[in-house]
């Protein structure tokens, strides 16, 4: 499962780079409507946040000194991904689910 967490974490970090660099590039060109924020919106940010949280949570659980089994590590990774979605909503000032 470490390989899965590593791949998801790398994809999440690449997504973060796309949002940061793509947004800066679009703003510098004066085409904010073509940037990743306008194209993917809140859903894209939540997916990137969930990927980073899932990957980080899974890697942290797998390399924990507590010697957790893989189902427990997977559960902790899913919880970390869910919590990162709430963090993205909080950081953006978006309301939570009703």
pLDDT at 97: 61
pLDDT at 32: 85
User: What is the number of helices (H) and of strands (E) in the chain?
Assistant: 3, 0
Question: What is the per-residue pLDDT across 45-65, written as a single tens digit (0 to 9) for each?
Answer: 999 999 999 999 999 999 999
Euclidean distance between CA atoms 47 and 52, whole angstroms:
9
Q: What is the mean pLDDT of residues 33-40?
A: 89
**Residue at token pair 């073509």:** 34
* Nearest to 9, CA basis, from 47, 61, 75, 53: 53
pLDDT at 95: 72
pLDDT band at 13 (very low <50, low <70, confident <90, very high): very high
**Residue at token pair 């953006």:** 92
pLDDT at 33: 87
């Amino acid at each position: 499962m470490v390989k899965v967490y590593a791949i998801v974490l790398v994809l999440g970090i690449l997504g973060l780079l796309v949002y940061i660099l793509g947004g800066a590039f679009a703003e510098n060109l004066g085409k904010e409507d073509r940037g990743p924020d306008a194209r993917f919106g809140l859903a894209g940010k939540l997916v990137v946040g969930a990927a980073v949280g899932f990957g980080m949570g899974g890697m942290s659980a797998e390399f924990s000194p507590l010697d957790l089994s893989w189902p427990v590590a997977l559960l902790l990774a899913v919880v970390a991904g869910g919590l990162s979605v709430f963090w993205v909503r909080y950081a953006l000032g978006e309301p939570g689910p009703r």
